[in-house]
Chains A and B, each alone.
Chain A
Amino acid sequence: MRGPRLVVNLVLLVVAVLFVAPLLWLVTASFDTHGGLAAKVPGEATLGNFGQILNWQVGGRPLVNGLLISAGTAIIAVVAAVLAAYPLSRFQLRFRRPFLYTILFTTGLPVTAIMVPVYGLFVRLSLVDSLWGTTVFLAATALPMAIWMCKNFMDGIPVSLEEAAWVDGASSLQALRSIVLPLMAPGVAVVGIFTFITAWGNFFVPFVLLLDPDKMPASVGIFSFFGQNGLVAYGQLAAYSILYTAPVLALYLVVSRWLGGGFSMAGAVKA
């Protein structure tokens, strides 16, 4: 069985090399002030590229805008999802199954397909070019996944703990706040981080719904930078990309340490 094993290992190594190759440029070019488009060990490694883009206009404001939008999206989605998950997890409701199936179906809906009517709606509501409008819309599109995950986390917490509270006359909201929430805090954090990462990377939604360059989050800001300067300043583009990616990487590492990788994909997909 030596032969096949060697072949499999070789295939895996080739795949690893092919997957890492496009990433090399991001790293090498970002430290190279004369960086081109090919991955090359820089003659002298400097932080010059990072210095060039770390000003309010180019890097600062888009990153702050992205932070505001993504954090707002995560907060709104988590609050709404936890509230919605409670009756779905704890009560026997007649419409529970159809509602959950609709939610599950909606998680797969490509948001791209509804952006034209959403833009029409935003024109009617005078929400075009509003950071609030964009944030609330992103939260709405994140909700199906957030509700689904929250409900699954909540199902894992035994009801017996609350029954005592119910007998003592606590309302369901009181039981949710003082008993269920503390127990599922890690789950809530995962949902929040997941929503934040998705919103942080979203390009199309702010690209369509926002007009003022001063309001653009980093996903769009970096794209405009590419259009204006990318053809000359590849090193700066790579540095910008790394700055923009860093928070996502950090958050992903936190979550995968927590759950043992892949956002515990198994439970989410088996459904």
Chain B
Amino acid sequence: MRRSPRLGVWLPPLAPSIVLLGLFVAGPILWCFYAAFTNSALSGIAARRPKFVGLDNFTTAFTSPDVASSLWLTVVFVVLSAVVGQNGLGILLAVFLQHRGKLLRGIVGTVVVAAWVLPEVVAAFAIYAFLNAQGTLNEVLGWFGLSQNWLYTAPMLAVVLANIWRGTAFSMLVYQAALSEVPSDLVEAAQVDGAGPVRRFWHVVLPVIRRTVVTNLMLITLQTLGVFGLIYVLTAGGPDNKTRTLPLLMYEQAFKFGQIGYGTAIALVLLVLGAVFSLVYIRSLKAEV
């Protein structure tokens, strides 16, 4: 390692990245904080000369039933599909697959990863067809007289299942990698002491992979907070706004109704929600250590 070289040596190679990240990532985030306090719009006078409106957007946002319901739907969507669904199923699959034969590992691994590798829109089409009134699921459920139009009768369940289907592979791969590094003598020692599989997992394996769990939860939570295409293709936020999470509300307000300032305030709510989730995860790690 070379010790503190001159500015002319280290800055030029970093410059392209700093410019790109500054202009297109840091810039927009900072601009969020400014625009959320203006009446900036897509067209009309407010587009050319946005006025400072103080906390108006936030008062509107926090008193509007739209934002409150979207915020709630987003939390439900994240907790059910990411924290419980992807994370839980991912860890279950990783544990169950750990000592299986090569064939079973191969089949389950390939199938689960296939859903993850598909582009977002294609995954949404596949689930759309699967859950549709004339879809595969209803063909099967029809034998039992249980068929219905899932996208209308249980839209939130439909998008939650869609996101579990699409995202579980990531958690599974992360946990498979983590489990393979758990020292086997630890687990064997617990087994000799008479601990059953559940207790071995809970008291021996889980504490060892604790950091991976928290990192994984953080990553999939932030990913799920930003999910747009999957829900937009499946339900477009409907029916009756029952699946209109914050990204869809933000899109609607900013681009359909042209209220950029208000849309930015919603985006800020989304960013803050992500920060709150992250803080909870980081705190939980500190509390445990």
Q: How far is the CA of A237 from the CA of B120 in the complex (A)?
A: 15
Which of A90, A115, A200, A266 makes the CB contact (< 8 A) with B119?
Answer: A200
Contact B226 A113 (CB under 8 A): yes
With both chains docked as a complex, state the minimum distance between the C-beta of B217 and any C-beta of chain A, in angstroms.
Answer: 11
B112 in the interface (beta carbon within 8 A): yes
**Judging by beta carbons under 8 Å apart, are A16 and B119 in contact?**
no
A161 within 8 Å of B (CB atoms):
no
| Residues of chain B in range 111-160 having any CB-CB distance to chain A below 8 Å | 111-115, 117-122, 125-127, 129-130, 132, 134-139
A25 to B129, CA, bound (A): 7
Chain A residue, CB-CB nearest to B127: A22
**Smallest CB separation, B207 vs chain A (Å):** 16
Contact B1 A140 (CB under 8 A): no
A112 B24 Cβ-Cβ under 8 A: no
Contact partner of B223 (CB less than 8 A), chosen from A9, A13, A83, A110, is A110
* Complex: A4 Cα to B226 Cα, angstroms: 39
Determine whether A87 belongs to the interface, using a CB cutoff of 8 Å to chain B: yes
- Please, which residues of chain A bring their CB within 8 A of the CB of B138? 38
| Residue among B20, B40, B109, B176 having the largest count of chain A Cβ atoms under 10 Å | B20
- Contact between chains at A90 and B2 (CB < 8 Å): yes
CB <8 Å contact, B260 and A201: no
A257 to chain B, nearest CB (A): 13
Say whether chain A's binding surface is mostly helix, strand, loop, or mixed: helix
Min CB distance A36 to B, Å, is 6
Decide if A22 touches B177 in the complex (CB within 8 Å). Answer: no
B238 at the A interface (CB under 8 A): no
Bound state CA distance, A91 and B1, in angstroms?
A: 6
The distance in angstroms between the C-alpha atoms of A139 and B16, with both chains bound, is 11
Q: Given A208-B255, A219-B119, do A110 and B20 touch, yes or no (CB 8 Å)?
A: no
Closest to A66 in B: B119
Q: What residues of chain A lie closer than 8 Å to B29, measured between beta carbons?
A: 114, 117
With CB as the reference atom, state the residue of chain B lying closest to A133: B24
Given known pairs A12-B108, A117-B31, A269-B219, the reply for A245 and B25 (CB within 8 Å) is no
CA gap between A12 and B93 in the complex, in Å: 7
Closest residue of A by beta carbon distance from B132 = A37
Q: Is the CB of B24 within 8 A of A271?
A: no
Cβ distance A116 to chain B, nearest Cβ, rounded Å: 4
The minimal Cβ–Cβ distance linking A183 to chain B, given in whole angstroms, is 17
Check A92–B4 contact: CB distance below 8 A.
yes
A contact residues around B121 at 8 Å (CB): 201, 203, 219, 222-223, 244
Decide: B229 and A204 in contact? CB cutoff 8 A: yes
Inter-chain contacts of B107 with A (CB < 8 A): 16
Query: With A and B bound together, what is the CA distance between A119 and B24 in angstroms?
Result: 10
- Distance in Å from the Cβ of A37 to the closest Cβ of chain B? 5
The reply to whether A106 and B16 form a contact with Cβ atoms under 8 Å apart is no
User: Top 10 closest A-B pairs, CB basis?
Assistant: A110-B226, A266-B177, A201-B119, A140-B24, A112-B226, A203-B229, A262-B173, A117-B28, A84-B17, A22-B130
The answer to the question of A45 belonging to the interface, with a C-beta cut-off of 8 Å to chain B, is no
**Interface presence of B283 (CB below 8 A):** no
> Nearest Cβ in chain A — how far from B273, in angstroms?
9
Chain B residues with Cβ under 8 A from A13's Cβ? 104
Interchain CB contact (< 8 A) of B2 among A88, A92, A109? A92
Interface string of A117-155 (1 = CB under 8 A from B): 111110000000000000011011101100100000000
Of B117, B125, B274, which is in contact with the most chain A CB atoms at under 10 Å from its CB?
Answer: B125
Asked whether B4 lies within 8 Å of A20 as measured between CB atoms, the reply is no
Inter-subunit contact B264/A116 (CB<8 Å): yes
How far does the Cβ of A60 sit from chain B's closest Cβ, in whole Å? 18
| Chain A residues positioned under 8 Å from B114 (CB to CB) | 19-20, 23
User: Out of A38, A88, A114, which one reaches B136, CB within 8 Å?
Assistant: A38
